[in-house]
């Protein structure tokens, strides 16, 4: 059994390398055809050739989510990026990968996990945030965190390099947070959220909230608290099932009891329709409109309802690895993936 899975992984790697080479050959051939058509034909035929080129066009990694760790101090029952490994790249390797992404057109980087502030008590993510803003000059640098481990001292050291901080909060009721698993010991998740919000204001970082709507919070009315916290964006996700992460035999979580129907999700959205910063994300929109890099800097393809990894961008480069990301650039634009994402361009009232 072990031998068979090793062989499958080997065959998959070989296929990826072959495909990468094949892709380059197809592109070069098309380039030759274009130059010939450009010289020998009228405008109409050049357009046909361009359409053919678009069919094999490599997507640009404009906005990337780098889940550099899978470790977390919370135990949310629906978590879909679970602690299957404890691996984290050395910081210099992570920087090398980020530079490759920048050279391929990355304009927004989001650091996620796991819990990003767990590694080196927040210094690891701090160093990457500073590197992306100062050295690579990435227009938008953001973090998604559960907020429980962030300190005032972190903002003093790294706050100026961070554009957006998103904190996950599914409920303003502590008992509901406990039922979901969004909690650690006796600490209050909601108190932390308010504390982080005030630091964002003090250190001029745009504040965002992410909520996952599931069976435990679908009846909640969050309007009052959201208006009080006044985030620049409130992302509202429908609880998502991913095979191998929160469903199936080898998963570390069992999300089945958290899943809600499309209609239940719509009812929650309708109740909050007056909140102008609300950005809804249904399962359909989520599956293939994100570019996700795991802890080895491999793109994860979620199209089949599970996470199929590419080879690492550190081994085969961004252009080759991205062919296996399942990324749908059109869906990314359709879900509003491109927005004002640099704090320099936001008209924020701190």
Residue ranges that bind ligand SF4, judged by CB under 6 A: 72, 74-76, 79, 81, 113-115, 146, 168, 182
Which of 76, 132, 169, 200 is the catalytic position? Answer: 76
Task: Respond yes or no: is residue 79 known to be catalytic.
Answer: yes
Report the candidate in 238, 103, 120, 230 with the shortest Cα–Cα distance to residue 170.
238
Nearer to ligand SF4 by Cβ, of 179 and 322: the residue is: 179
Output the DSSP codes for 29-73: HHHHHHHHHHHHS-HHHHHHHHHHHHHTPPPP--EEEEE-----S
Nearer to ligand SF4 by Cβ, of 34 and 74: the residue is: 74
CB of 1 to ligand SF4, least distance (A): 30
CB of 212 to ligand SF4, least distance (A): 8
CB of 308 to ligand SF4, least distance (A): 20
Task: Respond yes or no: is residue 76 known to be catalytic.
Answer: yes
Cis peptide before 276 (omega within 30 of 0): no
As a whole number of angstroms, the distance between CA 280 and CA 249 comes to: 30
Nearer to ligand SF4 by Cβ, of 100 and 109: the residue is: 109
Nearer to ligand SF4 by Cβ, of 81 and 272: the residue is: 81
Which of 18, 47, 79, 169 is the catalytic position? Answer: 79
As a whole number of angstroms, the distance between CA 342 and CA 15 comes to: 39
As a whole number of angstroms, the distance between CA 215 and CA 255 comes to: 10
CB of 50 to ligand SF4, least distance (A): 43
How far apart, in Å, do the first and last CA atoms of the chain sit? Answer: 58
Strand-pair partners of 210: 168, 235
Contacts of 286 (CB under 8 A, 6+ apart): 237, 238, 240, 302
Nearer to ligand SF4 by Cβ, of 75 and 201: the residue is: 75
CB of 168 to ligand SF4, least distance (A): 6
Residue numbers annotated as active site:
72, 76, 79
């Amino acid at each position: 059994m072990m031998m068979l899975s090793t062989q499958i992984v080997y065959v998959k790697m070989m296929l990826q390398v072959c495909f990468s080479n094949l892709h380059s050959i197809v592109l070069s051939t098309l380039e030759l055809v274009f130059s010939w058509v450009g010289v020998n034909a009228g405008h109409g035929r050049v357009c046909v050739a361009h359409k053919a080129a678009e069919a094999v066009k490599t997507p640009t990694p404009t906005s990337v989510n780098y889940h550099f760790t899978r470790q977390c101090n919370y135990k949310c029952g629906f978590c879909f990026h679970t602690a299957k490994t404890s691996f984290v790249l050395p910081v210099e390797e992570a920087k090398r990968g980020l530079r490759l992404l920048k050279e391929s057109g990355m304009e927004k980087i989001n650091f996620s996990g796991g819990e990003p502030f767990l590694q080196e008590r927040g210094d690891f993510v701090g160093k990457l945030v500073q590197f992306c803003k100062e050295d690579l000059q990435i227009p938008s640098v953001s973090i998604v965190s559960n907020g429980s481990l962030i300190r005032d001292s972190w903002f003093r050291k790294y706050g100026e390099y961070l554009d957006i901080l998103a904190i996950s909060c599914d409920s303003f009721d502590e008992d509901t947070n406990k039922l979901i698993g969004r909690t650690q010991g006796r600490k209050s998740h909601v108190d932390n959220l308010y504390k982080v919000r005030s630091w964002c204001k003090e250190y001029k970082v745009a504040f965002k909230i992410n909520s996952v709507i599931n069976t435990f919070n679908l009846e909640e009315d969050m309007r009052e608290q959201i208006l009080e916290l006044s985030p620049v964006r409130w992302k509202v996700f429908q609880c998502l099932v991913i095979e191998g992460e929160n469903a199936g035999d080898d998963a570390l979580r069992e999300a089945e009891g958290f899943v809600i129907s499309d209609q239940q999700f719509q009812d929650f959205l309708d109740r909050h329709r007056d909140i102008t910063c609300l950005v809804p994300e249904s399962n359909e929109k989520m599956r293939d409109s994100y570019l996700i890099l795991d802890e080895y800097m491999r793109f994860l393809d979620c199209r089949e309802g599970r996470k199929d990894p590419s080879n690492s961008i550190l081994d085969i480069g961004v252009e080759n690895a991205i062919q296996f990301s399942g990324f749908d650039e059109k869906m990314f634009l359709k879900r509003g993936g491109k927005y004002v994402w640099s704090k320099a361009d936001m008209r924020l009232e701190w």
